[in-house]
Structure 1
Amino acid sequence: MSGIRPADVVTFGESMVLFQPMSDGPLAYAPLFTRSLAGAESNVAIGLSRLGLRARWISRLGTDPFGDFVLATLAGEGVDVSQAERDTGCPTAVYFKEFKGYGDPNVYYYRKGSAVSRWTPDHVDRSWFEGAKHLHVTGITPALGPSTADTVRKAMTLAREMGLTISFDPNLRRKLWSEEQARETLLSLIPLCDIFMPGLEEAEFLVGSRSEEDYGAHFLTMGASAVVLKHGEEGSIGFTPLAAVRVKPHTVKHVVDTVGAGDAFAAGFLSAWLTNAGDGDEPRLSEALERANLMGALATQYRGDWEGLPKLAEVERLLAGSRETTR
């Protein structure tokens, strides 16, 4: 384990370079763009790092300037990128957002043939998880290439063998694969996780229409020891075999962009859940869900997937109802 930094959480997936128009309107007529970084797993890693946890990000990138940018940005946020691989024959993925002034932005991916899409189970290595406590994965990575689902499955299996706990956010992306393939693959990964974190619509997609309580009970019987249901404007509800806790949302007056809100929610939940392991299930769930709801709400207040994510001191002030002195 020499030379490998300890990690509270390992994340595992693709990050892309994001281009956003500087003004609203059709993408075809946008003259100027800003450049940023985007990816569910790296969003979570940055969120965790800002909340005081040590995060390690596992991925593959091209040997292009975009890959350099991704690594530099994450390293600048304190994320351990030492296990990220570079591929000389495949590019770093990019994507574009289109804002038309109403509703969620349109998203256009250019990730086919990317370095991550070539991931195979042979790439999975024990060094990814050495010195780590927890692995966080999403349902995006299994959809990216012909062998990426098997790669995720092997990574989850190896992490569990090495004593890590695992969280799994299905993070359904319908544009990336068929509904049948998505449902079959995502359901097969639930027994490999300890914390399952679907949105209400994702839960319905996976097992049909049920009550929230039935969703919690069903996913617990599949093997998860904690189930977290995200319910947007209605807040969230968490289940363990010993407790069920519902927490009201942190309300905001105006939503700018919902992309990245689920990743912020995951970072908030994990940051509290993993650091309060000695508490009972009910108080542990309550605190984790409160922080998760706040993080998710704050993420809707700015463009970009992670730039506005708060640090721990700000989260604690907001949850306590106080405001920072600014002048």
Structure 2
Amino acid sequence: MRQVQVLCLGESMALFVPGEDGPADRVRTWIRTVGGAESNVACNLALLGVRAGWVSAVGDDPLGRAVVSAVAASGVDVSGVDIDPLRPTGLYFKESGSVRYYRAGSAASAMGPELLDKLDLDGVRILHTSGITPAISGSCLALTRALFAAPRRTHRVSFDVNWRPVLWRGKDRAVLRELADAADLTLVGADEAEAVWGTGDPAGIRALLPGPDTLVIKQGERGATMIERDPATGADLDAVFEPALRVDVVEPIGAGDAFAAGFLAATLAGESPRRRLRAGHLQAAVSLRTHEDVGIPLPDDVVAELLAADERTWADWRMSG
């Protein structure tokens, strides 16, 4: 694996969406694409100019090769992806108002702590994963715990809660709090926190998660709040809230992953808290304007102008067309 700045770990699957209107049981044409939170983050990062890698497992089958090729096409290093000769690539179908997963026994679900020995963390500054990975299987939970317990000599661990109720059905959701509190940088939606922990209030979430040096609460179309610890004193700095851009939404899927990528890219660049949140909003807005999970970033000059804009200019800007 070539040296990367951000290494993302988690399952990606072949995604099929209807190619025509009508009830799913009558659809004859399906369009194949790729879906996966961590690979979405990696692809967004690569398009933003960050050297990103993705680690996972796929089957030795056409769907697995298609998934890896699609992620690599965005400029992501995929040399750490394992090709499983026995297990298949997971897949899912996105129907009108619902999603059906077929991932039981998938190659990625067999990932376990032994994968840690294969990871090349030399030069990696951020290791990113999400709450989807530990929910897939017991071995994936063990892998996630091993990742969090491993020494962090040069890298920080980033964790996006990514609450998926179907995946956690019958499982101990306390694991999500355990992992979210053990990360260096945690992202969570206020709606997710409300569903899992009973509070969507930033102060309340911080009380539940005192561990991360950086905590980001995504508050949907309202904006996002960041609470960060002062490295000198260990005390929390004042919370920073930045409103989201106004966007004519085409498709909301993938916006959270895009926000994470924009925020992480700006964090690596040493930007201020406000500019880091704005960078997240900008990439999320791009995602909201496309049917794809990953959207092409805005031109550099537009991004620079908006990152530096005064509050009124930022609030008045709308992404449409």
TM-score, with length taken from structure 2 = 0.88
Indicate conservation of the 8 Å contact 1:64/1:92, yes or no: yes
Equivalence map 1:269-288=2 (5 Å):
269-276=263-270, 284-288=272-276
Kindly state the Cα deviation for residue 171 of structure 1 after the two structures are TM-superposed. 0.3
Equivalence map 1:236-275=2 (5 Å):
236-240=224-228, 241-253=236-248, 255-275=249-269
Determine if the alignment matches structure 1 residue 187 to structure 2 residue 177: yes
Structure 2 distance, partners of 1:86, 1:293, is 35
- Of 66, 69, 74, 1:72 maps to 69
Determine if the alignment matches structure 1 residue 33 to structure 2 residue 30: yes
- What amino acid maps onto 1:198 in structure 2? V
Structure 1 distance, partners of 2:222, 2:189, is 11
- Of 114, 122, 133, 2:106 maps to 114
Q: 1:296 to 1:25 in 2, by over 3 A?
A: farther
1:132 counterpart residue number = 124
Kindly state the Cα deviation for residue 210 of structure 1 after the two structures are TM-superposed. 5.7
Indicate conservation of the 8 Å contact 2:8/2:128, yes or no: yes
- What amino acid maps onto 2:54 in structure 1? W
Indicate conservation of the 8 Å contact 1:117/1:144, yes or no: yes
- Once structures 1 and 2 are overlaid, which stretch shifts more, 121-130 or 291-300? 121-130
Kindly state the Cα deviation for residue 257 of structure 1 after the two structures are TM-superposed. 1.8
Determine if the alignment matches structure 1 residue 291 to structure 2 residue 272: no
- What amino acid maps onto 1:234 in structure 2? R
Equivalence map 1:307-326=2 (5 Å):
308-310=295-297, 313=300, 316=303, 319=306
Kindly state the Cα deviation for residue 179 of structure 1 after the two structures are TM-superposed. 6.2
Kindly state the Cα deviation for residue 243 of structure 1 after the two structures are TM-superposed. 2.7
Determine if the alignment matches structure 1 residue 231 to structure 2 residue 219: yes
Structure 1 unaligned regions, length at least 5: 100-104
- Once structures 1 and 2 are overlaid, which stretch shifts more, 120-129 or 8-17? 120-129
Question: Secondary structure, in 3 states, of the residue corresponding to 1:191?
Answer: helix
Q: 1:111 to 1:76 in 2, by over 3 A?
A: same
Indicate conservation of the 8 Å contact 1:50/1:312, yes or no: no
Kindly state the Cα deviation for residue 180 of structure 1 after the two structures are TM-superposed. 5.2
Q: Percent of pairs identical after alignment?
A: 38
2:142 counterpart residue number = 150
Q: Deviations over 1:78-112 (max 9, x none)?
A: 1111111011110011111113xxxxx42111111
Question: Secondary structure, in 3 states, of the residue corresponding to 2:14?
Answer: strand
Indicate conservation of the 8 Å contact 1:5/1:131, yes or no: no
Kindly state the Cα deviation for residue 258 of structure 1 after the two structures are TM-superposed. 1.3
Determine if the alignment matches structure 1 residue 304 to structure 2 residue 292: yes
2:192 counterpart residue number = 202
Determine if the alignment matches structure 1 residue 178 to structure 2 residue 178: no
1:102 counterpart residue number = none
Structure 1 distance, partners of 2:8, 2:19, is 30
Q: 1:179 to 1:271 in 2, by over 3 A?
A: farther
CA RMSD of aligned residues (A): 2.1
Structure 2 distance, partners of 1:89, 1:315, is 48
Q: Deviations over 1:216-262 (max 9, x none)?
A: 3442x2x1011100111111111111131111111113x22211111
TM-score, with length taken from structure 1 = 0.86
Kindly state the Cα deviation for residue 314 of structure 1 after the two structures are TM-superposed. 6.8
Indicate conservation of the 8 Å contact 2:262/2:283, yes or no: yes
Indicate conservation of the 8 Å contact 2:191/2:200, yes or no: no
Structure 2 distance, partners of 1:38, 1:138, is 14
Q: Deviations over 1:286-324 (max 9, x none)?
A: 111111112222212222212x2426627616726899x
- What amino acid maps onto 1:316 in structure 2? V
Kindly state the Cα deviation for residue 5 of structure 1 after the two structures are TM-superposed. 1.2
Q: 1:46 to 1:304 in 2, by over 3 A?
A: same
Structure 2 distance, partners of 1:59, 1:318, is 37
- What amino acid maps onto 1:289 in structure 2? L
